[in-house]
Amino acid sequence: MSAELSGSTALVTGGTSGIGRATAVALAGLGAHVVLSGRD
């Protein structure tokens, strides 16, 4: 990914494991503020 997301907010559902967690980590690495939601 070459986009920069600083100043953006991302909501990731299912962010406690698997693809959701990997997505949250990637978004945070690009500068987004990440909010996670999960069952556990």
**Domain-wise residue ranges, the chain:** 1-40
8-37 residue pLDDT tens? 999 999 998 999 999 999 999 999 999 999
Position of tokens 């600083």? 6
Q: Where are the beta strands (DSSP E) in the chain?
A: 9-13, 33-37
pTM for the predicted model, two decimal places: 0.82
Q: Give the pLDDT confidence score for residue 32 in this predicted structure.
A: 97
Q: Are 39 and 20 in contact (CB under 8 A)?
A: no
Q: Give the pLDDT confidence score for residue 36 in this predicted structure.
A: 95
> Is pLDDT above 50 for 1?
no
